[in-house]
Amino acid sequence: MLRIVRFFVALAVLSLFTLLPLLAISVDMLWLPLATTFVAIPLLDALIGRPREQPSTEALSPPWARWLPRAQVPLQLFLLLQAALVVPMLDGADLVVLALAVGTVTGGIGITVAHELGHRRSVLDRLLSRLLLVTVGYGHFYVEHNRGHHARVATADDPASAPRGMHVYRFIGRSLIGSFAHGWRLEALRLGRQGRSAWHLANWVLTGTLLSISILLLAGAALGLSAALFLALQAVWAVVLLETVNYIEHYGLRRRQLPSGRPEPVAPQHSWNADFLVSNWLLFNLQLHSDHHAHVERPFESLRSMPQAPQLPAGYPTMVLVALVPALWFALMDSRFPADNAPLA
């Protein structure tokens, strides 16, 4: 019974946060989701801090935990549809603020859930992962993250692992281009082994991109140019948040090269962790990132803190703001590297 109560409490919190932009519209406070994410949550993180013990894997039993992230899909689709219907009535400034508010949800929660579902073996979960990614124009993440990033993390070959000294704005451009290109290459190789062209619709990088473009065209035709512009802007901000988190997760950490020429196995010291209770609860334990890389298929509710991993001074919502000010980021982070960690080439 307690697990059922916990599930519905978690579902209520997920629903409230995902639909917060619609509440913000109703009370004429479009900035509310931004203030919640980048002010209230960091303050709660600072106030409540880290958990005193490892998160309990019994908090949600597997059947309930499986369904919690799945609930994000109808919630996010409802959010995008309702917001797109409202947009034609807004002026330009309000449209931008609403796009940022919605993109904070679709990037902060939506892509986090897509990441969780994309690592599961269930066909349904993988389909839902791709659907969420299509709504933010980043379908190729499903291919590149699972088959590219996890194999090459913390090496110079991985565009999503930031070298020490690189600021976030340069990193975002590098990761955007490099991740798309490598995702395409992976799909081309897979299809080539089947005797099919890289331009076949079975190439998910191609199909995901076409679906995202189709959504914009359909919104423009049905609801007007402003709706299409809104959907595009929220997707851009969602992707900026994703890539900023990518920047934070592995900044400057690298795997040593073995005598064989291959990188050493992925270890806890190759990901930054943030063991803050509130932001981890909202982000499906994404900040317990070392355990995720060590155990790729481990579900969010079972991820564990790894004290031996390098630790961020705050949760992702705070660190995103810090990363956007490179001088502050370097001053805060470059003194935190493990003593034996050399800059990533």
pLDDT at 61: 64
pLDDT at 59: 58
Q: How far apart are CA 83 and CA 222, in angstroms?
A: 14
pLDDT at 7: 86
pLDDT at 297: 85
Structure confidence by residue, pLDDT tens digits, 164-208: 999 999 999 999 999 999 999 999 999 999 999 999 999 999 999
> Does the structure show a pLDDT above 90 at 216?
yes
pLDDT at 53: 66
pLDDT at 63: 78
> Looking at residues 260-288, what average pLDDT do you find?
94
Q: How far apart are CA 39 and CA 60, in angstroms?
A: 28
DSSP 289-343: HHHHHHSTT--GGG----TTS-B-SS-HHHHHHHHTSHHHHHHHHTTSS-TT-PP
User: pTM above the 0.85 mark?
Assistant: yes
Structure confidence by residue, pLDDT tens digits, 53-103: 665 545 566 778 899 999 999 999 999 999 999 999 999 999 999 999 999
Structure confidence by residue, pLDDT tens digits, 140-171: 999 999 999 999 999 999 999 999 999 999 99
Q: Which residue has the tokens 């990761």?
A: 175
pLDDT band at 345 (very low <50, low <70, confident <90, very high): very low
Amino acid at 72: Q
Domain boundaries, the chain: 2-333
Structure confidence by residue, pLDDT tens digits, 289-330: 999 998 998 999 889 999 899 999 999 999 999 999 999 999
